[in-house]
Amino acid sequence: MIHITLPDGSKKSFEKGITPMDVAKSISEGLARNVISASFNGMKVETVTPLTTDGSLVLYTWKDDEGKAAFWHSSAHVLAQAIEELFPGAKLTIGPAIENGFYYDVDFGEHTVSEKDFKTIENKMLEIARGKHDFKMRSASKDEALSLYKDNEFKTELIKNLEDGTITFCDHSTFTDLCRGGHIPNTGIIKAVKVLSVAGAYWRGDENKPQLTRVYGISFPKQKELTEYLQLLEEAKKRDHRKLGKELELFTFSQKVGQGLPLWLPKGAALRERLENFLKTAQKKAGYEMVVTPHIGQKELYVTSGHYAKYGEDSFQPIHTPKEDEEFLLKPMNCPHHCEIYKSSQWSYKDLPKRFAEFGTVYRYEQSGELHGLTRVRGFTQDDAHLFCTPEQLDKEFKDVIDLVLYVFGSLGFENFTAQVSVRDPENPDKYIGDVSNWEKAEQAIINAAKDKGLDYVIETGEAAFYGPKLDFMVKDALGRRWQLGTIQVDYNLPERFDLTYKGSDNEMHRPVMIHRAPFGSMERFVALLLEHTGGNFPIWLMPIQVKILSLSEKYEKYSEKVLNLLENHEIRALVDHRNETIGKKIREAEMEKHPYMLIIGEQEKNENKVTVRKHGGQDLGMISTEDFAKIIKEDINKTLKSF
Ligand SMILES: [Zn+2]
Ligand SMILES: [Zn+2]
């Protein structure tokens, strides 16, 4: 008999050789129908793998990330089989599951594959899927593997790097692939497939190696799920921040200025300023002090901080002064500068915490192929701050930072998020710098803070940086995509390297603890995320123009100006459209520009001293007095922007 522990902690005894699927059946038929993958003692296994030792078993369904990974990994095999059948002579290389779907890199030889082939591939895949072929793993000797792939130099290269005795194949239908396992029970579970795109990809990502064709696909257990996914993709295209950024005139790029260097247009700059002021106001209340530091620093600064050794000289862009032969580097992060600000004074424990904040622009080298809109750039501004505190203060400081991050999320409409606490790997204590008891305190402080704030969090063992534990927020946007946002990092390393001290109540010198935090991450990435999350319909407090006043004709210019003045007195951002255009055209344009409110002004409105209110999206609020409208919009603003 063997003892199997399930995730809820319950233990069950089974005959040796039982499979995960048998265990599922022993729990319920319903569960067994839904189980598509499993892990045993933390290792991926097949649902038909015989279990021969005691251990803990986790069963996965489509709802789990692990279940999806197995589903898409298995679908990649089906795609490979379809390609092999449809394009004789095509050489398969590797085909992993990815976050949304899977791909296969193929050397198509004489064939070229394009969008017009997608339907044929999909139909072939579905035909194979309907055969309900079991996925079966088996071991193979190195010789056997090499002979199967004697005409495929790519697989041959992979096999040559494997130890004899560790090589496994997966068979289904008439198809065999080199594979380490992790499949769903059979192909019949795959009910809907879509070939999404093809792209060029170098073998092993090396541009000196042959170019292959990467075929991207996705699959689902239900047709309905595929339809929903495709709708989501359509919506994501509409919300692409590069497209919206252009339409809303927020930012641009210039080849002349350089790739990956965004240029903020007046409307974009105004948006940034509002975001910055919003955070500055909250930070001021939370006891932060603004500092300003230069865009460059001496090489020595980054040697001291350890960044130079860690990131390598290639990541830094050097600047040499012409006469004095000094070497400066473009600033890739603000922390070293802030450490030197801390060092400019002698601090006592009574002075701490010190909280230095800066909207600091940094520069990092990214390969041109990696650049993407505002999300991957070479120059960006972090909403950075570094907190220096005593170990005893860490607990409270951490909670306060979480409050600030949650305030930012709440005010900007990010309601769906989880937290991840990254702690040490206790098996590898040598990997980490700093005092063990301090680490314990810090990890406990983060976990307590997460609990205290009611966060939905997971603890990831071994995920901490060598210099300290951290808390990451994973935000889900309106389209269900996950983004990492708002890291809070404890650091024992930089205070040590910069020899930062404070005088304790015992009159001895001590090391402060440092916290790095940036709720937005960077202004660039955050604006991109916000655009894609809201589709450009920002929370009303952030909207560049909250109200557009549309007059029916020039006759009402004076009255329109009066309405504008009144709104401006209430600190509402408004604009009048006086142009001699039809009201229909004016409304359509105002809709495109996403102004939250439109006020229509004509004869009756002027005579009765009122305005007709229309909301973005078409909702009609009727004719009311301007004062009443000001009250409505102010309430709207206060609803989205609470005070900190
Ligand atoms: Zn496989
Ligand atoms: Zn930092």
- Percentage above 90 pLDDT, the chain: 85
Instruction: Please tell me the predicted confidence (pLDDT) of residue 643.
Output: 83
Give residue 441's pLDDT band: very low, low, confident or very high (50, 70, 90): confident
- Percentage above 70 pLDDT, the chain: 100
Let me know: does 551 contact 577? Beta carbons within 8 Å.
Answer: yes
Judging by beta carbons within 10 Å of its beta carbon (0-12, 13-18, 19+), is residue 100 exposed, middle or buried? middle
Catalytic residues: 335, 364, 382, 384, 386, 470, 516
Range 32-44 average pLDDT = 95
In this predicted model, what pLDDT tens digit does every residue of 159-169 receive, in sequence order?
Answer: 999 999 999 99
Cα–Cα distance, 286 to 62 (Å, whole number): 44
Range 259-266 average pLDDT = 96
pTM assigned to the model: 0.80
Distance (Å) from CA 504 to ligand 1 centroid: 59
CA 634 to chain centre: 33
Instruction: Please tell me the predicted confidence (pLDDT) of residue 222.
Output: 97
Cα–Cα distance, 145 to 499 (Å, whole number): 57
| Largest interatomic CA distance in the chain | 93
Distance (Å) from CA 351 to ligand 1 centroid: 59
Instruction: Please tell me the predicted confidence (pLDDT) of residue 366.
Output: 85
Instruction: Please tell me the predicted confidence (pLDDT) of residue 403.
Output: 95
Instruction: Please tell me the predicted confidence (pLDDT) of residue 110.
Output: 87
Distance (Å) from CA 170 to ligand 1 centroid: 6
Q: Which ligand lies nearest to the CA atom of residue 182 in the structure?
A: 1
In this predicted model, what pLDDT tens digit does every residue of 366-380 receive, in sequence order?
Answer: 888 889 999 999 999
Cα–Cα distance, 41 to 138 (Å, whole number): 21
3-class SS string, 534-598:
HCCCCCHHHCCCCEEEEECCHHHHHHHHHHHHHHHHCCCCEEEECCCCCHHHHHHHHHHCCCCEE
Mean pLDDT score of the chain: 93
Which residues are in the CB-under-5-Å shell of ion ligand 1? 170, 179
Instruction: Please tell me the predicted confidence (pLDDT) of residue 434.
Output: 76
Of 535, 547, 268, 277, nearest in space to 411 by CA: 277
Q: Cβ of 249: how many Cβ atoms within 10 Å?
A: 13
Whether the pLDDT of residue 127 is over 80: the answer is yes
Q: Which two tokens stand for residue 507?
A: 């009159």
Give residue 357's pLDDT band: very low, low, confident or very high (50, 70, 90): very high
Distance (Å) from CA 490 to ligand 2 centroid: 10
Distance (Å) from CA 361 to ligand 2 centroid: 12
Distance (Å) from CA 72 to ligand 1 centroid: 10
Whether the pLDDT of residue 427 is over 90: the answer is no
Give residue 178's pLDDT band: very low, low, confident or very high (50, 70, 90): very high
Whole-number Cα distances in Å, 547 to 527, 558, 595, 633:
21, 17, 6, 9
Q: Which two tokens stand for residue 368?
A: 């041109």
Range 178-207 average pLDDT = 95
Of 62, 145, 157, 61, nearest in space to 105 by CA: 157
Whether the pLDDT of residue 313 is over 80: the answer is no
Range 589-613 average pLDDT = 94
Cα–Cα distance, 128 to 75 (Å, whole number): 10
Cα–Cα distance, 512 to 492 (Å, whole number): 8
In this predicted model, what pLDDT tens digit does every residue of 493-504 receive, in sequence order?
Answer: 899 999 999 999
Q: Cβ of 451: how many Cβ atoms within 10 Å?
A: 10
Instruction: Please tell me the predicted confidence (pLDDT) of residue 310.
Output: 78
Distance (Å) from CA 218 to ligand 2 centroid: 38
Give residue 479's pLDDT band: very low, low, confident or very high (50, 70, 90): confident
> Rounded to 5 degrees, what angle do the CA atoms 191, 193, 195 make?
175
Cis before 353? omega within 30: yes
Minimum mean pLDDT among 299-313, 326-340, 438-452: which range? 299-313
Q: Which ligand lies nearest to the CA atom of residue 102 in the structure?
A: 1
Give residue 608's pLDDT band: very low, low, confident or very high (50, 70, 90): very high
Q: Which ligand lies nearest to the CA atom of residue 339 in the structure?
A: 2
Instruction: Please tell me the predicted confidence (pLDDT) of residue 88.
Output: 93
Of 460, 464, 461, nearest in space to 490 by CA: 464
Whether the pLDDT of residue 429 is over 90: the answer is no
Instruction: Please tell me the predicted confidence (pLDDT) of residue 350.
Output: 96
Q: Which ligand lies nearest to the CA atom of residue 81 in the structure?
A: 1
Question: Residue 597's beta-bridge partner residues?
Answer: 547, 615
Instruction: Please tell me the predicted confidence (pLDDT) of residue 23.
Output: 96
Q: Cβ of 258: how many Cβ atoms within 10 Å?
A: 11
